Amino acid sequence: MHLHDKAFYVALFFIIGVAAAGLGVNVWLTLFAATVASFVAIRSKIFVALFVGITFLGFFYFNFYTVAQNENFPVGEKIEFEGVVYSQPKHGLKSQELNVELEDPLKGTVRVYTEPLPRFQYGDRLKIAGTITESPSGRLNIVSFPRIERVGVAESRAVKKKLFELKDSMVQNLNSVLSPQHASLMSGLLFGERAEFSDEFEDAMQKSGTTHIVALSGYNVAIIGITLSTALSYFIKRKYAFYASLVAIPAFVVMTGAEASVVRAGIMGIIMLLAERQSRIYSFRNAVTLTAFIMLLFNPRLLVFDTGFQLSFAALLGIVYIYPLLKKRFKIEENEGVMGWKRNLFQTFSAQVAVAPIVLTSFGYFSPTALFSNVLILEFIPVTMLLGFMTATLGFISYGLSLVLGWVTSVFLGYEIFIINLFSLNWF
């Protein structure tokens, strides 16, 4: 067996172990299934033993992680506690949303809702007096409109803070030249910022099956990566452009809040870059398993409990494994220029088919118009993102130029918003 096959199976069986533990499957049953599976795949006793061992490791790791992460705080009692804002606050239309990591003697994380002002920032250390209540959706526990006092700023988070500031000033540049509706969609496309979406618009995106365009999927990361490396290769040598991309991709991932789907796209992007540079063959199968493996090492709960993680991988698998079949069957040419709508149609369809089971079980909802809305929108997303990125960057240099370019961007954003609203209507 080749080394890359071994690596693949090790990662795969680890993932199986994590999945089984997450789903609460009996450990003996899991090991038995792993034995059968590995025996079917590889008829070698040593490897069967190895892979069963790896499966057990995955199973064990999940439980170990869960115990180590145990939360410790009283629920439903009025208490006073200190904590640090550990992700970027969402400044919504009517309230502010802060994710706070509790400090000793308590342990765990909570979500705090509070008035829009004063604005709290990433890294703020807060003294909070309020009641922690259980989240109805089983996510982070909630503290609603408590009394908050800013007692300081946590150190040692300088790099992250700088990245957030950079993103904030780019969003700010968009805000100062675009209308609020347009600016919020643009920030969604570029940075996954959704704080300013009105409830109606969120709803419209869900009904038209277009939420994924602002959920910063691999699609957005790929567009940004390609744009960035093309732009860089104009200014600097190829070799340096490679290193610059190696820095830029993780920076972007962190800047946008490191959600599972972005991390997934970021890691795969880097693997792709490395493979290209080393002139190695880029094996999709290995890249995707390795990515999942790395992410689960950091947090094994993602696999079963994070819908974003599941959707991201499912959509990717759909596009990579289902789309080629359709492509052959319907004889779609790559690089067909204006007729790219066909590619969009079948890629959307492939992804939709792959994510359908997850969407149905998690949200209990499925968009019947998603195919049409996506075909009409996706073709224009790259150019919109490019224009939006240029508008945001120009804002640092000249307000006037940024304003003019923003106007051109607005034409595309207006069209996209129109399509989203159109396909969210109940047609039947």
Shorter beta-carbon distance to another protein: residue 106 or 404 = 404
Among 177, 216, 332, 420, binds another protein (CB under 8 A): 177
What minimum distance in Å lies between the beta carbon of 149 and another protein? 8
d(CA 235, CA 319): 33
Q: Which is nearer to another protein, 91 or 161 (CB)?
A: 91
* Residues 65 to 94 in contact with another protein, rule: CB under 8 A: 91-94
Q: How far is the CB of 180 from another protein (least distance, A)?
A: 4
**405 touching another protein, by CB under 8 A:** yes
Lookup: tokens for 63: 């439980």
Of 353 and 403, CB closest to another protein = 403
Question: Which one, of 175, 108, 189, lies nearest residue 386 by Cα?
Answer: 189
Q: Which residues inside 182-211 make contact with another protein, applying CB under 8 A?
A: 182, 196, 198
- Please choose, from the candidates 262, 230, 261, the residue with its C-alpha nearest in 3D space to the C-alpha of residue 245: 230
CA–CA distance, 153 with 123 (Å, rounded to integer): 6
> Binding mask 17-56 vs another protein (x if CB under 8 A, - otherwise)?
----------------------------------------
Least distance in angstroms from the C-beta of 81 to another protein = 19
- Which CB, 236 or 383, lies closer to another protein? 383
Give ∠ CA 385-336-187 in degrees, rounded to 5: 10
* Residue 147 near another protein by CB under 8 A: no
What's phi and psi for 331, nearest 5 deg? 50, 60
Q: How far is the CB of 201 from another protein (least distance, A)?
A: 11
Q: Which of 63, 403, 421, 422 binds another protein (CB under 8 A)?
A: 403
Residue choice 38, 55, 99, 175 for contact with another protein (CB under 8 A): 175
* Listed residue (93, 90, 257) closest to 181, CA to CA: 93
Q: How far is the CB of 408 from another protein (least distance, A)?
A: 4
**Cβ burial, residue 303 (10 Å; 0-12/13-18/19+):** buried
**Closer by beta carbon to another protein, 88 or else 289:** 88
As measured in angstroms, the least distance from the Cβ of 252 to another protein is 23
- Beta bridge partners of residue 328, listed in sequence order: none
Residue 308 to residues 230, 312, 314, 385: CA-CA distances in angstroms? 29, 6, 10, 22
> What does the chain come to in residues?
428
The residue (of 166 and 408) whose beta carbon lies closer to another protein is 408
C-alpha span between 208 and 185 (Å, rounded):
15
Handedness of CA 313, 318, 321, 324 (dihedral sign): negative
Question: Considering beta carbons, is residue 286 or 393 the nearer one to another protein?
Answer: 393
What are the phi and psi torsion angles at 107 (to 5°)?
Answer: -150, 140
Of 231-260, binders to another protein (CB under 8 A) are: none
Q: How many Cα atoms within 13 Å fall on the side-chain side of residue 270?
A: 18
**Residue among 180, 324, 357, 368 that touches another protein (CB under 8 A):** 180
Q: Which stretch binds another protein (CB under 8 A): 43-51, 129-137, 174-182, 324-332?
A: 174-182
Site membership for another protein, residue 408 (CB under 8 A): yes
State which residue, 180 or 357, has the beta carbon closest to another protein. Answer: 180
Contacts of 66 (CB under 8 A, 6+ apart): 301
Structure tokens at 302: 């993602």
Q: Counting Cβ atoms within 10 Å, is residue 173 exposed (0-12), middle (13-18) or buried (19+)? A: buried
Stretch that binds another protein, among 152-160, 279-287, 373-381, 406-414 (CB under 8 A): 406-414
For residue 224, give the nearest of 269, 163, 260, 180 by alpha carbon. 269
Burial class (CB in 10 A: 0-12, 13-18, 19+), 379: middle
Kindly identify the residues of this chain, within the stretch 89-128, that bind another protein according to CB under 8 A: 91-95, 115-119
- Residue 144 touches another protein, criterion: CB under 8 A: no
Interface with another protein, residue 176, by CB under 8 A? yes
Our CB check for another protein shows the closer of 147 and 285 to be: 147
Residues that bind another protein (CB under 8 A): 91-95, 115-119, 150, 172, 175-177, 179-182, 196, 198, 383, 403-405, 407-408, 410-411
